[in-house]
Amino acid sequence: MHFDERIRKFEYKFNDTDDQVIEYILEHRSEISNISIQNLANKLYTVPNTIMRLSKKLGYRGFSHLKTSLKDEFESRDIQKKNSTYHHVQKTFELIDEELMVTVAKLIKEAKHVLFFAVGDNADLCNIIVNNLRVAKKRISLFLTPP
């Protein structure tokens, strides 16, 4: 899990000092890997224990774990932008179970009639699949349920 995701996940646990530390880390993300916990505490007019507690609140084992994770994120960000389409497509491919896809494709091919049920955001995708299968002369029914 990335630093930004951890912040969103655990934000209910933070106090004002934690928010200041997080803000500083976000503004100086590339420099954090080269700074000691004592220097960071001095810059923020706090004590190292505060930073250590924050690191644990964020799910890290300690400040050094937080630093190495930030460094890895910063280095990997250059290779692959987090918000890029490529990144989202790669994440989607990582989630696909190829065996299950082959099984579903076989079942659809052998079926006399295929039923699709769509809710909310899935409706557009189901509509595309239904249109493509109709071109292949498959009997298909699509049922849309309001979100």
Structure tokens at 115: 């039923």
Reported as a pLDDT band with limits 50, 70 and 90, residue 81 is: low
Q: Is the pLDDT of residue 84 over 80?
A: no
Question: Would you state the pLDDT for residue 96?
Answer: 78
Amino acid 108 reads I
Which residues, 6+ apart, have CB-to-CB distance to 69 below 8 Å?
A: 3, 60
More confident residue, 82 or 4: 4
Domains of the chain: 3-79 (1.10.10.10), 97-145 (no CATH)
Helix axis angle for 3-10 and 63-79, nearest 10°, is 130
Q: Is the pLDDT of residue 144 over 70?
A: yes
List, in sequence order, the alpha helices (H) in the chain. 3-10, 16-27, 37-43, 48-57, 63-79, 85-95, 98-110, 122-135
Q: Is the pLDDT of residue 139 over 70?
A: yes
Work out whether strand 113-119 and strand 139-145 pair parallel, antiparallel, or are unpaired.
Answer: parallel
List, for residues 24-62, the tens digit of each pLDDT value.
999 988 888 889 999 999 999 999 999 999 999 998 999
Q: Is the pLDDT of residue 9 over 80?
A: yes
Helix (H, G, I), strand (E, B) or coil at 118: strand
